[in-house]
Amino acid sequence: MSETFLRTAEVPPRAPPAAVGGPFAWVRRNLFSSLGNAATTLVVLALLALVLPPLFRFLVLDAVWTGGSGEACRPEAAGRPVGACWAFIHEKLGYLVYGSYPLAERWRPDAVFALMLLGGGWMLWLDAPRRGLGALFFFGVFPVAAYLLLAGAPALGLKPVPTGLWGGMIVTFVVSLVGIVVSLPLGILLALGRRSDLPVIRLACTLFIEFWRGVPLITVLFMANVMLPLFLPGDITIDRLLRPLVGVALFASAYMAEVVRGGLQAVPPGQAQAARALGLTELQILRFVVLPQAIKIVVPGIVNTFIGLFKDTTLVSIVGIADFIRVLESARIDPRWAAPSVPVTAYAFAALFYFAFCFGMARYAAFIERRLAAGEGAR
């Protein structure tokens, strides 16, 4: 016969365990939680101690900030070790931003940059009012307004400016924004088409995607810029900048389609079945149930495609388009700025420029992921 024991004495209350927090707790938990983690942390710290001091000395402490020519950036003239020649960047900044765009008309690119910040900020600010209108402005109104401002519209009193005079950061932003604005909606359509039940649409979308994904971007640019005019009638010409813009947009759309298709496949089929049971139409299911979940899943992949597209804009310089890198190359070979540190400074400035925008996009994507995860109760 089994016996049951029931404890009748009251257990005295205990104090809750002391919370361990603060910077030291974070360092111990994340950097020195194990022997392997501690060894990795020490190796990384040693590498940073080896690299950062000379880099900081070159970029800041020994840098030359003022000067009217390369003479100020030569060690024999300065009488001391010379680091980065930021005076060169200051002198050439207008050319790096606008290229050969007419000086009197540079307010128009400035207006485009302002509209870009307005539309992008309105659309990306999650708590902004009427964000749908912000997306409509960025994807619909902004491209038209940017084209009219940059290219000119005599009917609106804007003097035409040939694309051959565009250059620098203007071209970099134009190429990347065209790729982003076109690739996302077109990529979604291609992904949906590849999953279509109609064989003709599925085959056409599959062939389109596989063709563009199977050709290097540099080949696409050469075909668009060099070979395409050979197949056109003599009386038909396509703008020299428009050719690579179309190539970049189609190329990015194919990659975006595969990213979105991965998200569509990750949505459980039960979601659509439950929506049909509630009486939703196929279009409503796609718009309100499937696509929001698919896009949410592939936010990192979408942003990664955008980052790659932004960096790949440098390839248009190979086909003669005066993007930021090509303009930077032209500026650094100026005989007035012949100094040993000028080329290094030019490429360091380019690296900082691309890093700032790519890092910003990556951090925003991480913020979106955290915000979406918080909505599900995740931490």
Q: Which of 329, 318, 324 is nearest to 222 (CA)?
A: 318
Residue 281 tokens read as 């139409």
Q: Alpha helix (H) ranges present in 31-164?
A: 35-56, 75-78, 86-98, 107-124, 131-136, 142-151
Helix axes 169-194, 142-151, angle to 10 degrees: 150
Name the CATH superfamily housing domain 105-375: MetI-like (1.10.3720.10)
Q: CA geometry: angle at 233 spanning 227 and 234, to 5°?
A: 95
End-to-end CA distance of the chain: 50
Taking the C-alpha atoms of residue 319 and residue 15, their distance in angstroms, rounded to an integer, is 72
Using a 10 angstrom Cβ sphere, with 0-12 exposed, 13-18 middle and 19 or more buried, the burial of residue 132 is exposed
- H or E segment and range at residue 336: none
Burial 137-168 (b: 16+ CB within 10 A, else e): bbbeebbebbeebbbbeeeeeeeebebeebbb
pTM of the model: 0.83
Residues 160 and 171: beta-carbon distance below 8 Å: no
Q: Which of 139, 218, 120, 175 is nearest to 309 (CA)?
A: 175
* pLDDT tens, N- to C-terminus, the chain (379 residues): 556 656 666 767 777 666 566 787 878 887 888 888 889 999 999 999 999 999 999 999 889 988 888 888 888 766 677 889 999 999 999 999 999 999 999 999 999 999 999 998 888 888 888 888 888 898 889 999 999 999 998 988 899 999 889 999 999 999 999 998 899 999 999 999 999 889 999 999 999 999 999 999 998 888 888 777 777 776 777 788 888 898 999 999 999 999 999 999 999 988 888 888 888 888 899 888 899 889 888 988 999 999 999 999 899 888 888 899 999 999 988 889 888 889 999 999 999 999 999 999 999 988 888 887 755 544 4
